Amino acid sequence: MRSAPLLHVLRQTPRIFMAQPIPFRNTGAARARHAKAMLLPIARQIADDLALRVHLSLDALRRGLGTKSDAQTVTQIMLLTSYLADAGFGSMSDEELHAADRASAMVFDAGRERNEWKLDEAGFALFASIATSYDRQLHRAPLWAITEASERLDRFIAGGSDRAPARKRG
């Protein structure tokens, strides 16, 4: 009995059981889309959602109904606004940053001592100005700047330097 032609071919062909890589097409196109997206501001809906959270936290602190989370939120946007201003998107003076830092420290002190998470009128006015700047930055700054500011904040929160790590030159 003769073997079937296909069986004969399979017996002579070396078998490779290793998975073969799937050739990806348009990797250059994907990189180009990513690079373009990094140059554009974030989507309006995302910017609006982020800004709304900040304004809600700020309002809760103004009314004396704030929480530790609200205090952390306004402190984080104080830093993000400063970092974005450092990158050339908006402005924030050193005096404004130091005054906001002092106001934030007072909120955290009162929160820890009396469980009262509240901004006084001057602190509210200062953080309202910062929140407005942050809102503008979210709508105008490119994604790369927002990403770098966010990474800088993450490094600061983790206890490291808020400066960008040195990059390899190759």
Give the total number of structural domains in the chain: 1
Q: Mind listing the pLDDT tens digit for each residue in 29-51?
A: 777 777 777 888 899 999 999 99
| Position 82 in a domain | yes
| Position 151 in a domain | yes
| Position 165 in a domain | no
Buried b (16+ CB within 10 A) or exposed e, 30-65: eeeeeeeeeeebbeeeebeebbeebeebbbbbbeee
Q: Is 110 exposed, middle or buried (0-12, 13-18, 19+ CB in 10 A)?
A: middle
Residue numbers of the domain that contains 134: 41-157
| Position 164 in a domain | no
Band the pLDDT of 168: cuts 50, 70, 90.
very low
| Position 148 in a domain | yes
Q: What is the pTM of this model?
A: 0.77
| Position 122 in a domain | yes
| Position 163 in a domain | no
Q: Mind listing the pLDDT tens digit for each residue in 42-89?
A: 999 999 999 999 999 999 999 999 999 999 999 999 999 999 999 999
State percent of the chain over pLDDT 70.
Answer: 79
| Position 78 in a domain | yes
